[in-house]
């Protein structure tokens, strides 16, 4: 399996280094940031009570009941993700552009024998997908004259007997960690012996998505009550590669010039879930909605490998260059995400516009890893998940103004509260206040059976992380935190046809 840092260190961060099948995975595949059509995106995705848009199927499938005609839409998206990093007072920045499709969907109205405006007025069925999360980003952090090293972690793990083919074995084979002659059970490294002072840089690249493919149905009763249900198949693709480089820029470390540790993780898999929902109109202008989302039951597969290279001295003191690769690790496991509930309200001003509010709640501490491919039961990992994470709500607010009979102006706001507890394992968690805010605006044009929507979305999230794990036996010498300020700009376009 893998080596874990201590509980105290766990409470501080979700590691910037790659470690598979742990609390990091539980949050990564449970914490969604919905992306669907441009109309919904411009209005903060506050469509739980509005309906009439396929994005609502991922929030409240009762929204499918508000369709009055068949519809075909698709939504391409162009975006830029930029991350600014502050580490030991040094500022660095990296950015990545990406293009994707966030939504493709088709909705049709089935014929109803009763053609009156009472009873079941319409039955609608929809099929399509919405993007639940986009992982694409790159990050860069580094500093000079450090007073700690990633090699501290390897040497300390080796000392306490935590020896892994993916970490300590690589450091040993590239002449980076050594046992003391007078105490061969204790390991050290040359950077520490020289009093540190080396330079360090960490880069990380993430790619991938979580897409939800839904088959949904909605019923319209008397234009007052709308019921809906959906079955979702969730497709996961995630890739993360990182490179940590340390080098002796000042030329003051004997027997050491540089080291580089690379890691690569690829996760693929599918999951399934269900949703039920209701929308009720006590008066024609007011809509109230509620929905329940089952956990998503994932079957996931991880592929993991690491490598290490060095320019260092061997046992004879001769400098050389070395490269060592880990074995390949393939591992299957299951993950159950939290149950979710959503409450919504919308007020429609006749021929003027509307305002809408959604609130969604999930207990991230209830996520659980299950059924490891080798029979592993993840008891310790699930205990960590329960202590690290908490209930967290998502607030979505949107509005639309009908400027003319053909043009609509829109705006929205989303707030994703931090899923981290303020404290875990008797230590504060810096990411307890790491909220994600999304600001959006857009416009729509419709003429006959054709409509075109455009949206701009700006998201900002500040978080804290370590570039590598701290010492498993010494909480007080953890490496310094880096601050990551992520800014994402997206432009969405939806082309739609009603018939």
Give CA–CA dist 266/135, Å, rounded. 12
Average pLDDT over residues 345-363: 95
How many Cβ atoms from other residues are within 10 Å of residue 72's Cβ? 16
pLDDT over 80 (residue 31):
yes
Residue 22 placed within a domain: yes
Kindly report the CATH number assigned to the domain that includes residue 149. 2.40.160.60
Burial class (CB in 10 A: 0-12, 13-18, 19+), 181: exposed
In this predicted structure, the answer to whether residue 385 has a pLDDT above a threshold of 60 is: yes
* Mean pLDDT on 111-124: 80
The model's confidence at residue 393, banded by pLDDT at 50, 70 and 90, is: very high
- Under the banding of pLDDT at 50, 70 and 90, the label for residue 229 is very high
pLDDT of residue 12: 42
Which pLDDT does position 22 carry in this prediction? Answer: 87
In a domain, 448, yes or no: yes
- Weakest mean pLDDT among 152-156, 398-402, 472-476: 472-476
Burial 413-431 (b: 16+ CB within 10 A, else e): bbebbbbbbeebbeeebbb
- pLDDT of 13 > 80? The answer is no
* Percent of the chain surpassing pLDDT 70: 93
Q: Is pLDDT of 477 > 60? A: no
> For the residues 35-47, what does the mean pLDDT come to?
96
Question: Which tokens is 111 given?
Answer: 């014929």
Asked, for residue 230, whether it belongs to a domain, the answer is yes
- Contact in structure between 112 and 125 (CB atoms under 8 Å): no
Question: Does 362 fall in a domain?
Answer: yes
Backbone angles phi, psi at 65, to 5 degrees: -70, -15
Residue 1 belongs to a domain = no
Mean per-residue pLDDT over the chain, rounded:
92
In a domain, 100, yes or no: yes
- Summarised one tens digit per residue, pLDDT across range 70-80 is 999 999 999 99
According to the per-residue pLDDT averaged within each range, which of 91-105, 106-120, 419-433 is highest?
A: 91-105
**Confidence at residue 7, expressed as pLDDT on a 0 to 100 scale:** 39
Average pLDDT of the segment spanning 194-212: 96
In this prediction, residue 426 has a pLDDT band, given cuts at 50, 70 and 90, of confident
pLDDT of amino acid 204: 95
CA atoms within 13 A on the CB side of 401: 7
Weakest mean pLDDT among 208-212, 336-340, 366-370, 471-475: 471-475
* 160-169 burial code (b ≥16 CB/10 A, e <16): eebebebbbb
| 425 within domain boundaries | yes
2 assigned to some structural domain: no
Range of the domain at 467: 7-498
Q: Categorize the per-residue pLDDT at 62 as very low, low, confident or very high, splitting at 50, 70 and 90.
A: very high
> What is residue 167's predicted lDDT score, i.e. its pLDDT?
96
Q: Give the confidence band of 471 by pLDDT, cuts at 50, 70, 90.
A: low
Q: Is the pLDDT of residue 172 over 50?
A: yes
88-108 average pLDDT score: 94
pTM comes to 0.91
Number of domains in the chain: 1
């Amino acid at each position: 399996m893998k080596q874990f840092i201590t509980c105290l260190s766990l409470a501080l961060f979700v590691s910037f280094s790659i470690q598979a099948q742990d609390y990091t995975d539980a949050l990564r595949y449970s914490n969604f940031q919905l992306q669907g059509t441009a109309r919904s995106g411009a209005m903060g995705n506050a469509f739980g009570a509005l309906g009439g848009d396929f994005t609502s199927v991922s929030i409240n499938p009762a929204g499918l009941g508000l369709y009055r005609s068949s519809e075909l839409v698709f939504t391409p998206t162009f975006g830029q993700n930029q991350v600014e990093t502050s580490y030991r007072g040094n500022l660095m920045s990296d950015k990545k552009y990406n293009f994707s499709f966030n939504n493709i969907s088709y909705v049709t109205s089935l014929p109803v024998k009763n053609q009156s405006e009472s009873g079941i007025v319409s039955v609608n069925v929809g099929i399509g997908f919405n993007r639940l999360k986009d992982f694409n980003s790159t990050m860069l952090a580094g500093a000079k004259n450090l007073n700690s090293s990633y090699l501290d972690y390897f040497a300390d793990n080796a000392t306490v007997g935590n020896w892994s083919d993916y970490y300590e074995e690589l450091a040993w084979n590239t002449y980076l960690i050594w046992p003391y002659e007078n105490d061969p059970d204790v390991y050290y490294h040359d950077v520490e012996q020289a009093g540190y002072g080396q330079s360090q840089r960490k880069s990380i690249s993430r790619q991938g998505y979580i897409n939800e493919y839904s088959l949904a149905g909605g019923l319209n009763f008397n234009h007052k009550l709308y019921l809906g249900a959906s079955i979702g198949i969730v497709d996961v693709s995630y890739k993360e590669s990182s490179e940590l480089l340390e080098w002796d820029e000042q030329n003051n470390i004997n027997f050491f010039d540089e080291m580089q540790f690379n890691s690569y993780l690829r996760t693929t898999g599918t999951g399934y879930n269900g949703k039920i929902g209701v929308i009720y109109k006590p008066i024609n202008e007011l809509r109230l909605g509620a929905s329940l989302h089952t956990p998503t039951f994932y079957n996931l597969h991880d592929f993991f490998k690491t490598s290490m290279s060095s320019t260092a001295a061997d046992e004879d003191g001769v400098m050389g260059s070395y490269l060592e690769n880990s074995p390949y690790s393939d591992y299957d496991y299951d993950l159950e995400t939290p149950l979710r509930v959503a409450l919504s309200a919308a007020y429609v001003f006749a021929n003027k516009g509307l305002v809408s509010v959604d609130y969604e709640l999930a207990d991230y501490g209830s996520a659980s890893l299950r059924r490891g491919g080798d029979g592993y039961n993840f008891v310790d990992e699930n205990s960590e998940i329960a202590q690290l994470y908490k209930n967290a709500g998502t607030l979505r607010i949107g509005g639309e103004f009908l400027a003319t009979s053909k043009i609509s102006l829109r705006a929205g706001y989303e707030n994703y509260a931090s899923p981290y507890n303020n404290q875990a394992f008797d230590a504060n968690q810096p990411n307890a206040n790491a909220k994600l805010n999304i600001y959006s605006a857009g416009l729509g044009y419709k003429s006959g059976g054709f409509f075109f929507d455009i949206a701009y979305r700006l998201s900002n999230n500040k978080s804290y992380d370590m570039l590598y794990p701290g010492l498993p036996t010494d909480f007080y010498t953890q490496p310094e935190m880096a601050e990551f300020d992520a800014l994402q700009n997206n432009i969405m376009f939806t082309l739609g046809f009603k018939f």
